[in-house]
Structure 1
Amino acid sequence: MARAVTPARKATVTVFAWGVGLLIFFPILWTILTSFKTEAEAIASPPSFVGFDWTLENYSTVMERSNYFLHFLNSVVISVGSTLIGLLVAIPAAWSMAFVPGKRTKDVLMWMLSTKMLPPVGVLIPIYLIFRDTGLLDTRTGLVIVLTLINLPIIVWMLYTYFKEIPVDILEAARMDGASLRAEIIYVLTPMAVPGIASTLLLNIILAWNEAFWTLNLTAANAAPLTAFIASYSSPEGLFYAKLSAASTMAIAPILIMGWFSQKQLVRGLTFGAVK
């Protein structure tokens, strides 16, 4: 029998959850508020939360100084492109690990995950030299390749977890009906794992969108995404907090809106298979 939850306990948990949520969201909220302040008000002490003169001057300055839409387009192409290519590779790989018997599957998965333990700076020089010699430096294609390889272990791990929740009997029934390997993956496995695939896609778009190390070191101007757009407001003269906050707000707004509208699908995918 399920244990009854008292109204007092439910209210306590709700207040605690809201408190944690607001604590996590507060830096984003403060960045957004600072973007509407003047530079003097942005560094004022004590800081003002809402009692300041609101201005759009920082946004107009940012738009005049930088080509925001070029950086935005670069971010879209790089994040979506690397995620889609990663899915094309990861779906068959995760299928083979989840449904083809093998004693070394966990070892392979752990080996793939171990590649995320290496600090990126450890392989920066060889990758930079390869990109320089092959003409991939400061190109969208180069960043798509790098981010695909970086996030591929995470994509495979997530899909493997979702695929393991699918009954193997369904796939065996499809084989008995004459389904080929290609038809089994495309028409049977993939539709059943749509929630998991969707959450994997969304999370990896966010990871690629926020990637800063590789985008700052492998781009200059042509393929620079929004992370480089933000970094351009850090100058030797110092930090212009209001303008930096405006640039940051413009960079996170698209992905924040996407996450807000897709949160239901994201939560559904993350809990896929958790309740039987």
Structure 2
Amino acid sequence: MVAMKKWSRLFWTVITYILVFLMIFPVIWMVITGFKQEADAYTSAPELIFRPTLDQFMIAINGGFSAYLFNSVVASLVSTAIAMLLGIPAAYCMVFQMRKKSSNDMLFFVLSTRFMPFAAILIPLYVIVSRLNLLDNLFTLIIVYTAMNLPLIIWMARSYFLDLPKEVLESAWLDGNGTIGTIVNIVIPMAAPGLVAAALLAIIFAWNDFFFATTLTYTQSPTLPVMVAVFSSNQDLFLAKISALATGIILVPVILGMYAQRHLVRGMTGGALK
């Protein structure tokens, strides 16, 4: 019986590793292709042995990478900061200042804003933005990304606030701390791991957005995902160039994802211990 359980665990472990490899293999192949010349990338039989080069990365950098990078960084960070500034007090009020039924109704309303596919709101959003003369404007992307990530921030912050010991908060209230003082001095430090994870996920979602960026921007405020489309349309041979560019773009989400995972797990275990 013990031997069967051992072989069963080994079998499912092997299956898991195979599935994970199949999922990440396209990413691995993309990274490898980024170090090839275009002629090597377009061979009918994939070449595993080749002379690595950084030419495609240099082409991407010299193709205006810094301007696209600036727009992506500003849109991601500023929108996340605004979403955190609005979402943390909203989650605090839902947990500590609203009745449970009202809080649940409010949470459902907040999450319901993400029920509709983005494609369904694209046309009315485009009409509104165009009539306000805000097309191809970085401010527009910031507002859109803030609205896109605000439900995520509220939902995650609320889940962490529910684990906070109310005795500590009651002590803060007795000491004369108001809502803002309690949030800044007590709630945020205690829920920091979860809030960091929520912020990092929001940055990743904004960083990876292609749908809104390619529709609402043209030449003044395009982000890095839009640059991939530009490379694919302006070059005859572009597979290696796009692979090199995409490799550079995914570095930030991969690093932030690994960092967010660590904070997310630590926050969840911290809440369980409380």
Alignment partner, residue 212 of structure 2: 214
Output aligned runs, 1:14-93, within 5 Å: 18-48=17-47, 50-64=48-62, 66-93=63-90
The CA deviation at 1:244 is 1.1
Residue identity matched to 1:273: G
- Identity rate of aligned residues, in percent? 39
Q: Is the 8 A contact 1:162 1:272 kept in 2?
A: no
Q: Would the aligned equivalents of 1:98 and 1:160 in 2 still touch at CA under 8 Å?
A: yes
* CA distance in structure 2 between the aligned counterparts of 1:43 and 1:52, rounded to whole angstroms: 13
The runs of at least 4 consecutive aligned structure 1 residues that moved more than 3 Å come to: 6-24, 236-239, 257-263, 269-272
Aligned to 1:244: 242
How far, CA to CA, are the matches of 1:270 and 1:224 in structure 2? 36
User: 1:137-216 alignment to 2 at 5 Å?
Assistant: 137-216=135-214
* 1:100 corresponding residue in structure 2: 97
**Taking structure 1 as reference, are residues 235 and 95 closer, same or farther at Cα in structure 2, changes over 3 Å only?**
same
Taking structure 1 as the reference length, the TM-score comes to 0.87
Measured after TM superposition, the shift of residue 9 of structure 1 is 7.7
Moved more, 250-259 or 166-175: 250-259
RMSD: 2.5
Partners of 1:24 and 1:58 lie apart in 2 by 25
Report Cα offsets for 1:116-146 as digits up to 9, x if no partner. 1212122222222222232322121110001
8 Å CA contact retained: 2:38, 2:237: no
Q: Is the 8 A contact 1:171 1:184 kept in 2?
A: yes
CA contact (8 A) 1:230 1:251 kept: no
1:167 to 1:119, Cα distance in 2 relative to 1, 3 A: same
Q: Distance in 2 between matches of 1:132 and 1:24?
A: 39
1:117 aligns with 2:115: yes
Question: Which runs of structure 2 are paired with 1:257-276 in the superposition (5 Å)?
Answer: 257-260=255-258, 263-269=261-267, 271-275=269-273
Question: Partners of 1:80 and 1:139 in 2: how far apart?
Answer: 16
- Point out the structure with the larger helix share: 2
Task: Name the counterpart of 2:134.
Answer: 136
Q: Aligned in 2, Cα 1:17/1:270: closer, same or farther, shift over 3 Å?
A: farther
Does the CA-based 8 Å contact 1:199-1:270 persist in structure 2?
no
Bigger Cα displacement from structure 2, 165-174 vs 131-140: 131-140
Contact 1:37 1:53 in 2 (8 A): yes
The 3-state SS of whatever aligns with 1:44 is: coil
Shift of 1:75: 0.6
> Deviation of residue 115 (structure 1)?
1.6
CA deviation after TM superposition for structure 1 residue 20, in Å: 4.8
Q: 1:271 to 1:147 in 2, by over 3 A?
A: farther
Q: Offset at 1:263?
A: 4.7
Q: Which amino acid aligns with 1:190?
A: I
Tell me, which stretches of 5 or more residues in structure 2 are unaligned?
A: none
Change (3 A) 1:230 1:269: farther
Shift of 1:249: 1.0
Q: Distance in 1 between matches of 2:90 and 2:10?
A: 45
Q: Which amino acid aligns with 1:39?
A: E
> 1:262 Cα deviation (Å)?
5.6
Which whole-Å deviations, capped at 9, do the CAs of 1:186-232 have from their partners, x for residues lacking one? 11111111011000011110011001100110111211110111111
Size of the aligned set, in residue pairs, is 269
CA separation in 2, counterparts of 1:164 and 1:11? 38
